[in-house]
Chain A
Amino acid sequence: MKGLLLKDFYIIRSGLLILLLTFAFVGAGMSFVISPWVLIVIFTVTLSFQSAVTVQTDKSSQWDKFSVTLPVSRMQTIASKYVMYLLLSLVGLGIGAIISIVCAWFQKGFDVESLLIYSSLAIIVSLLPGSISIPCSFWLDEEKSMIGTILAYMVTSGIIVAVALIFNKYMNLQENIGMVIGILAAISVILYIISWLICSSKICGKDM
């Protein structure tokens, strides 16, 4: 799997520096207008999204067909995408957190609770769409998988709103926002694992 991860790393790296610099400067500027903690979410989502893009790159270059002839199983190929998505989410979370802390520090608005809430929110808006967009990328062609990705973010928004509304019925959402976000983050992780398992079992038998 190391070779597959390395290949995806080279693909992502080719456009990553420009992307990171753009977001660092734009994000730093934005942080003075809105909350600096939003940067954690932006960086996590942007970076993790790159992994799903590599599935389409594999298809367009026909690497997906060639990889079947390599001494790696299709299960490993799928696992490499999920692992890369997780790794990029963590890297994005880390970079976003560092920049957010620096910006918050300058604005004298640093607090650990916001850091934790926005970090959890970043996990939710990264893993929830990932659990839909990664299988879509494998299953559908480029055009349809883009629609799948857009739908994934819409579904994510829907889940967040639905959970917030349900909790709002029984408790004060503002007072318990940490708990609600934590539950949503746990749901995201569970759905991501389920998606990984389903994708492995369904895609492995699919004709190329």
Chain B
Amino acid sequence: MEKTALELSNVSKQYKDFTLDNISFKVPQGSIVGLIGENGAGKSTTINAVLGLISKDRGTVTMLGKTDIDAVCKENIGVVFDGNNYPNMLTTRQLGKVFENIYSSWNKKKYEELLKKFNLPLDKKIKKFSKGMKMKYAISVAFSHNSKLLITLYLSIMGKSYFQSLKMNCWKTTVL
């Protein structure tokens, strides 16, 4: 039987001027799935609900077999937002040390290899990075721990060719 990495069942969220109405879909393990829709369709709201950034009014999100986001082992989730999410005054070396103390599965060797692959210097502050470099850095972080599910709002990642172009082995990872 096909295993499911992510399942949304009747997820709803009501705002004053917008309603996310009964969203249901399944993302099988090992697949790459894209959410496509016009502006304001609720793609980001859906992902925010999946990640627990917003509370749901109704419905369930099952991620890697768990329905409670707090019960999901977040070591297994990698997230790349569309923009910078790291303190600007920190260097990648400092952030590496921070993540080493946050993720128990943090792989320092892999992190440094990815930084090298992306030509990201260890002692440069994030604020001196271009937008592209910041995105590459976010991908490096997402793949330096035990990510089984990669959730991204950065469109360029979508597609196997992106990972192939980077010679990254991501066959175990589900990408949304």
Contact = CB atoms under 8 A, between A and B. Distances in A.
B116 to A, nearest CB: 22
Contacts of B99: 3
Contacts of B73: 71
Interface string A57-91: 11001110110111111000000000000000000
B101 interface: yes
Main secondary structure of the interface of B (DSSP, over half): loop
A157 to B, nearest CB: 32
Max count, chain A CB within 10 A of own CB: residue among B94, B97, B104:
B94
A69 B79 CA distance: 7
B87 A207 contact: no
Nearest to A14: B89
Nearest to B89: A14
B70 A73 contact: yes
Contacts of A62: 81, 83-85
A142 to B, nearest CB: 15
B74 A66 contact: no
A3 B90 CA distance: 13
A6 B73 CA distance: 22
B86 A61 contact: yes
Contact of A68 (B51, B94, B97): B51
A71 B87 contact: no
Interface in A1-29: 2-4, 6-7, 10-11, 14
A208 interface: yes
B75 interface: yes
B103 interface: yes
Contact of A71 (B74, B84, B86, B100): B74
A61 B125 CA distance: 13
B54 interface: yes
A151 to B, nearest CB: 27
B70 to A, nearest CB: 7
A68 B101 CA distance: 16
Contacts of B55: 205, 207
Max count, chain A CB within 10 A of own CB: residue among B81, B86, B87, B89:
B87
B102 A70 contact: yes
Contact of A7 (B51, B79, B90, B151): B90
B166 interface: no
Given A6-B97, A207-B54, A208-B54, A63 B103 contact: no
Interface string B38-78: 00000000001001111100000000000000100111010
A116 to B, nearest CB: 37
B119 interface: no
Interface of B: 48, 51-55, 70, 73-75, 77, 79, 81, 83-90, 94-95, 97-104, 151
9 contacts: A4-B98, A6-B98, A7-B98, A11-B89, A14-B89, A63-B86, A63-B87, A66-B79, A208-B48
